[in-house]
Amino acid sequence: VGADREGAENHWPQPEERYLPDLLSPSETNPNDVYYRDKLIAEGHARLVLPILPV
């Protein structure tokens, strides 16, 4: 049980696991968010555009 808790604390949420506001304004203090900033924002934009693309 203790190992599961440690793993959860170190888990970096993937873009698919995040809410839209978290994607459009990633954390500036998390090194992973800083490194993947462009990819996170792109995922947020894709979520906004996908519903209107077929129109």
- What pLDDT is recorded for position 9? 76
Whole-model pTM: value is 0.77
- CA dihedral (36, 37, 43, 46) positive or negative: negative
- What pLDDT is recorded for position 32? 96
pLDDT digits (tens, 9 = 90+) for 7-22: 667 899 999 999 999 9
- What pLDDT is recorded for position 55? 82
**What is the Cβ-side half-sphere exposure of residue 27, based on CA atoms within 13 angstroms?**
10
- What pLDDT is recorded for position 6? 62
User: Residues in the chain with pLDDT < 50?
Assistant: none
